[in-house]
Amino acid sequence: MTHAEKCLTFKRLHEQQIPFVMPNPWDAGSARILASAGFKALATTSAGVAFTLGRVDGTVSRDEALANARAILGATDLPVSADLENGYGDDPDTVAATMVLAFETGLAGASVEDASGDPADPIYPHDYAVTRVAAAVRAARSRPHPFTVTARAENFLHGRRDLDDVIRRLKAFVDVGADVVYAPGLPDIAAIRLVTSSVGRPVNVLVNAGLATTVVELGEAGVRRISLGGAVCRAAFGGLFRAAREMAERGSFGFLADAASIAEINACMTPKGRLEA
């Protein structure tokens, strides 16, 4: 697909009644494996990029994040949305510049958070958060293709379990033009349903081990997009941890029984590779 086609395809995926799952690869190889499974779109993960570089989450620069996005884009023909954290700067002009660079990288969309990165004051004040989203939207609208802006309210990830404030923020982000809204860390289906019924825009939900649900249940709750953040990467690292501990602590190699074969992996490492059921 051309960049324009990817942007339009990604936008239209949010118009379906059944939510689409948008998993998060962390490099070109994981992108090809996920694409081979038949997903319709992918998203980057800030945590996964950091782990791939041997660093902790939150330490990746804008240049590094966009380089990772280019690698993933080069590995698959799917639309890709980027996790660009807080836009890599506090001020709205920096957020806008980040959106332009994301578009020019070939992405179909990107997210911007209201998390400041400051442990002492982790969430931007409401009005300033809205101003930053508005700057992202204006930058996106200045591009020639429909670039999807996802606005994130991060309260629940930072110990602020105030659903009313989350909804107030998401509604304000919608008012300034956000295409998709997203509140990672929502605790249950009831909270998700309240968000989807309140905001009047497609809602992305982050699935994690603490949210026991299914695609069908999320669709019935009004969700339009499902992502996993760094969870797929962490699952892969979980396998690595288990293998390392077994070898180091028990001197055995039972983990090899669950290892993918070279042939299975090779089959995915071509542009048209398919993961067999």
DSSP for residue 50: H
**Residue 83: strand pairing partners:** 111
Looking at domain 3-230, its CATH superfamily turns out to be Phosphoenolpyruvate-binding domains (3.20.20.60)
pLDDT digits over 153-171, tens only?
999 999 999 999 999 999 9
- pLDDT above 90: percentage of residues in the chain: 95
* Two structure tokens written together for 146: 């429909």
273 pLDDT band, cuts 50/70/90, is low
pLDDT reading at 272 higher than 80: no
Q: State the pTM of this model.
A: 0.95
274 pLDDT band, cuts 50/70/90, is low
* Two structure tokens written together for 111: 């997210």
Structural domain boundaries in the chain: 3-230
pLDDT digits over 32-53, tens only?
999 999 999 999 999 999 999 9
In Å, the largest CA–CA distance within the chain is 59
CA distances from 219 to 20, 34, 155, 207, 216 (A): 9, 21, 23, 13, 5
Average pLDDT score over residue span 172-188: 97
Residues 173 and 199: their CA atoms lie apart, in Å, by: 9
DSSP for residue 123: B
Q: What is the C-alpha end-to-end distance of the chain, expressed in Å? A: 26
pLDDT digits over 210-268, tens only?
887 999 999 999 999 999 999 999 999 999 999 999 999 999 999 999 999 999 999 99
Residues 51 and 161: their CA atoms lie apart, in Å, by: 28
Query: In Å, how far from its chain's centre is CA 183?
Result: 12
Kind of pairing, strands 109-113 and 225-227?
Answer: unpaired
